[in-house]
Chain A
Amino acid sequence: MNTAYQIVVCGSIVPDPLQTLEPVTGPAGPALKNEMMLPAVLDPWASHALYEAANFAKHSAGSKVWLVSLGPKAKLQQVMMTVAQKVPFELIALDGPASGFTDAAEVAALLTEAIQSIPGLDKAKLLVFGGWESASRGAGATMQIVGERLGILDQFQGVDELKLNPDGSLEILERIEGGKHQVSRCVSPPALLGWATGNLPEPKNNPQVGMVNMRTAMPALQKAKPVKLAGESLTFKSVSLPKQLRETKIVKDKSADDIAREIVEWIRK
């Protein structure tokens, strides 16, 4: 029974969600105001995928995790200062745009190419992870296209849990309607998992893990392949922020039940 997996996580960067995100129209189409100057984080969906990958690899001797990331090299480097401290992985960087206004098909093609270039890639051991969604690209299509291009037929989206069964098969919980999960069994890799939130907390930063990761991440960033997205097949008619109503109230010493009740009442209003 083979339990040594090659886990490739696809994940890029998005602006820190605490920042003010204001759509603007630039010469190359829609963009976020000052996007390059805003601090970035690893896409939260991809982050869950990465933490789950590392955890799965930790419990499957001989496994290895790669993070394939398409984004502006300098921004990626900043984000790695945090992400690289979380879990062990090897970075494969592609120097290109990480905007939310890119074409999922083009991005998927580049990611696929990068995955295929991993030396010693063995599809019989391959698990491709990524975010089910993205904080910047809501199409939810990128990972599916990556899977198609790699010829991976077993695809799971909205994954919250992955377990290794004693017989070597993979048990996967996918989100479905009504707050329920669909349980699937996948006999063996290759498989593609688009993660929802998973079950793991964000690992704490550990500079010592980071120092090990950065020994390979820095060279990977330096030799990151510059890529361009043509964006020819994509047009945007209009861009706007979702309508939101923010009512902030600071409370202390309230139970979770009380807070939940109050939120429900507020929604029903």
Chain B
Amino acid sequence: MPTATDMTPTPTLQTLPGDDIRQIMWRFADRYDLAMMVQACRAVARGPVARAVASGERNTHEWTPQKDALLKAFDEAGITSAFMEPSEGGYIEGPKNLALSLLAFELSWVDAGAATASLAGNLGLSPIHERGTPEQQTYYMSRAVPPKPGENRKAWRYAFALTEPLPFVGVETGMLGGKVRVAEWKDGGEPTLQVDKRGRFITNMGYANVVTAAVDSDDPRIKGSCMVILEETDPGTFDRGTPTKKMVHQLSSTCDPVFNLRVPASRIIGGYTVKGGCIVPNYSHGEIIEAVFRRTRVTVALMSSAKLLSAIEPVIRYQRTRFRGGEGGPGSPRYELGLQQKEDSQHRLIDVWATGEASTSLGFESARLFDQVDPLEKAKDQWLAEKKLSGRAALKELMKKQQEALELVRLSSQPADKRNSSRIDDLAADPMVKFSLLDSLANVFCPACKLWNTGHGATMMREAVSLMGGYGITEDCPGFLGQKWMDAQLEATYEGPEAVQRLQLSITMTNELFLAQFEQWIADMRRIAAQRPGTGACTLATAMRLWLWTLNHVQTATDADGAKLYHKTRQGVTFALADALCWLIAARQFILDVLELAEKGQANPALTDGLLSFVNFFTDLCHVQSARAGGEVGRICAELVHGYNRHPAWDEASCQACYCAEELESLEGIIPGIDSAARACADVTEASGSRSQKAGPCVSYAGLETFIRLRAKLDGCLTGARLAKDRAAEALTKVMIPEALDYPV
């Protein structure tokens, strides 16, 4: 009988995956607006952006004319206007999370600093886009659009000024480095505000015309915090500050600005109401940035993903040509394969590729998720407004919907013949139930992709650089891998460093609605494993089950001193489980994307020749990634489950539980073999009082039997993973690559 791996068909990778493949995997094959935008963006990335990097523009902190020319290239290629609605001068209808993620991915394929320069403009606009009044949206969004032929104006550039703690002066991120006071308020008139703000590390600041700044009230007549819109022509000081001496993303402009400006109160983003002679902003700065960052972090995540996938072709070319020109002519393995003769070179590149695929899959799924959430979130706001609910009352109403969503998940999990279909249909048709479901996922996916894609991505970029040897850390390394490695570290840091993402995950991943869906995913993975055993879905399902068991365990378990394990201050537990979850959902999403390719690819005649080869190769990569995820999850979970118990010592209590050698000897006559059996599974105190040379008696697994069984099962589930890696590695040696990289060095 054939084994699961024997059944894997043989055709393997013939060419590197192209747009046909990617459009299916990342689910925009039916969106020609996005496909065209990708092509336009790619031409800029591999043209002007690559030339700027190759000519050393990254080597200066200043905003140079060549860097500035990139903004014009973005404008001409429709990159700037991609963020806007058609009514505002854009060309993409509806939510734009996937669109902006694709832009970030394409630009970061060459240089993520260029992506940041483009996206920071959107970030500056985002507070207005997400929470601005209709008047603010109309006014500022349309001015961000590049002028059309015949229009005599310049596109406005935008920057976002939150705050960044100044080192060594006792400032933390929770405090805003900006104040707002009432400068003038005439009876019946609109108040004029005095805004004082010092920004740090503010992107686009070298040229921004408009800044959206977070400020705190410094006046009893203004309540709380808010965000305000500052224009460069406002009366007062609009000092762009000195360029930041950053070592990364140098194609974007970053400065430490100072603002001291007078602006009308109508610049408060989202507007305000006057209550009891006090200005009450409709949105606090926290409410605005929460809406902004949960979307923009996804694009940052994809910057790192693009780097990993962009490394594959240059590394293969480097490996193959490494020995050409020396001994061994064409046709010899040394000439044709170069470093690819060595298994280690192949395997390490497979790890980079698998990580790149999984992180890209996770990133784009997160973006698509937000595209679904966006209209539902607006509907939710409208629904609450119609019901005149806010604050706790609104939360209470949403909790009811969450319970209904939970009911939907549970009903859907039942066998088809036992389901209450009419109830399921009713619940599924409720947009607020749908919002609850998707929101619970978005709250996990956003921090997960930001954390894992950038954090683990940076580690894997180091691996990619290492595969180039000394060449990897030269300025002219093909594919700019050295610069990308450094940039990845920034991406792990900005828009909320890793600790912030872990903290958010540690809260959102325990949401019962998320966990109910997670349970469903485990069943889905088993089903997929039954149909496609080579994907590693079974391994992943077991790892997911182990993670879930561990999460439940640590929520009630205590450490050796009786302290709770799952507590917000116990980041050694919560953060570690958050890390483990990221591995799981990234590997899962990769599997789902490969299944999508296998299914939808059949409808594309251009893929007739190669579909099976791509599916087989990606299936092996999935297996590699699932096994790696399983290994990480197993390690983390085992450390958490066992690591907080004190190891038994050779103390009196433990020694009493040991067998005594003399007793065993006397029993040997009655029960032959008891001596050796006891020594094999327990600890024995010799007649001399001596014991085995070790830290103490072996630990007992009482109460942890399920965990032990799952852990052992997970180890067994790794069966075949290395065979998959071998197959994928062999494919690397045969895949046809282009003659040359399509951007300069």
> Which single member of B19, B32, B39, B736 contacts A34 (CB below 8 Å)?
B736
Specify which chain A residues have a CB less than 8 angstroms from the CB of B605 in the assembled complex: 72-74
Q: Do residues A205 and B606 form an inter-chain contact, with CB atoms below 8 A?
A: no
Specify which chain A residues have a CB less than 8 angstroms from the CB of B671 in the assembled complex: none
Q: Do residues B609 and A218 form an inter-chain contact, with CB atoms below 8 A?
A: no
Specify which chain A residues have a CB less than 8 angstroms from the CB of B82 in the assembled complex: 207
> Which single member of B43, B476, B607, B745 contacts A205 (CB below 8 Å)?
B43
Q: Do residues A210 and B606 form an inter-chain contact, with CB atoms below 8 A?
A: no
Specify which chain B residues have a CB less than 8 angstroms from the CB of A84 in the assembled complex: 36
B7 within 8 A of A: no
A2 within 8 A of B: no
Specify which chain A residues have a CB less than 8 angstroms from the CB of B476 in the assembled complex: 250
Q: Do residues A207 and B610 form an inter-chain contact, with CB atoms below 8 A?
A: no
- CA gap between A74 and B35 in the complex, in Å: 13
Specify which chain A residues have a CB less than 8 angstroms from the CB of B686 in the assembled complex: none
Q: Do residues B35 and A37 form an inter-chain contact, with CB atoms below 8 A?
A: no
Q: Do residues A36 and B738 form an inter-chain contact, with CB atoms below 8 A?
A: no
B611 to chain A, nearest CB (A): 9
- CA gap between A110 and B40 in the complex, in Å: 32
Q: Do residues A206 and B40 form an inter-chain contact, with CB atoms below 8 A?
A: yes
B737 within 8 A of A: yes
B690 within 8 A of A: no
- CA gap between A233 and B181 in the complex, in Å: 86
Known contacts A18-B738, A218-B32; decide if A72 and B606 are in contact (CB<8 Å): yes
Q: Do residues A16 and B78 form an inter-chain contact, with CB atoms below 8 A?
A: no
Specify which chain B residues have a CB less than 8 angstroms from the CB of A250 in the assembled complex: 476, 745
Name B17's closest neighbour in chain A (CB-CB). Answer: A37
Q: Per-residue 0/1 for B592-627: is the Cβ within 8 Å of any A Cβ (1 yes, 0 no)?
A: 000000000000111111100000000000000000
- CA gap between A18 and B736 in the complex, in Å: 12
B524 within 8 A of A: no
Interface size on B, residues (CB 8 A): 35
B184 within 8 A of A: no
B20 within 8 A of A: yes
- CA gap between A95 and B742 in the complex, in Å: 29
> Which single member of B18, B39, B609, B737 contacts A85 (CB below 8 Å)?
B39
A208 within 8 A of B: yes
Name B609's closest neighbour in chain A (CB-CB). Answer: A36
B677 within 8 A of A: no
- CA gap between A208 and B605 in the complex, in Å: 28
A261 within 8 A of B: no
A38 within 8 A of B: yes
Known contacts A204-B77, A205-B39, A250-B476; decide if A34 and B609 are in contact (CB<8 Å): yes
B91 within 8 A of A: yes
- CA gap between A210 and B77 in the complex, in Å: 11
Q: Do residues A37 and B14 form an inter-chain contact, with CB atoms below 8 A?
A: yes
A136 within 8 A of B: no
Specify which chain B residues have a CB less than 8 angstroms from the CB of A218 in the assembled complex: 32
B377 within 8 A of A: no
Q: Do residues B77 and A206 form an inter-chain contact, with CB atoms below 8 A?
A: yes
Within 8 A of A (CB), among B1-47: 14-15, 18-20, 32-33, 35-40, 43
> Which single member of A34, A72, A73, A207 contacts B14 (CB below 8 Å)?
A34
B740 within 8 A of A: yes
B739 within 8 A of A: yes
Q: Do residues A34 and B15 form an inter-chain contact, with CB atoms below 8 A?
A: yes
A81 within 8 A of B: yes
> Which single member of A20, A73, A75, A207 contacts B36 (CB below 8 Å)?
A207
- CA gap between A34 and B36 in the complex, in Å: 24
Q: Per-residue 0/1 for B726-745: is the Cβ within 8 Å of any A Cβ (1 yes, 0 no)?
A: 00000000001111101001
A33 within 8 A of B: yes
Specify which chain A residues have a CB less than 8 angstroms from the CB of B76 in the assembled complex: 204, 206
Known contacts A19-B738, A37-B609, A74-B604; decide if A205 and B20 are in contact (CB<8 Å): no
Specify which chain B residues have a CB less than 8 angstroms from the CB of A208 in the assembled complex: 78, 81, 91
Q: Per-residue 0/1 for A9-42: is the Cβ within 8 Å of any B Cβ (1 yes, 0 no)?
A: 0000000101110100000000001101111000
Within 8 A of B (CB), among A35-87: 36-39, 72-75, 78, 81-82, 84-85
Q: Do residues A74 and B740 form an inter-chain contact, with CB atoms below 8 A?
A: no
Within 8 A of B (CB), among A187-228: 204-208, 210-211, 214, 218
A-B pairs with lowest CB-CB distance, top 3? A205-B40, A74-B606, A207-B78
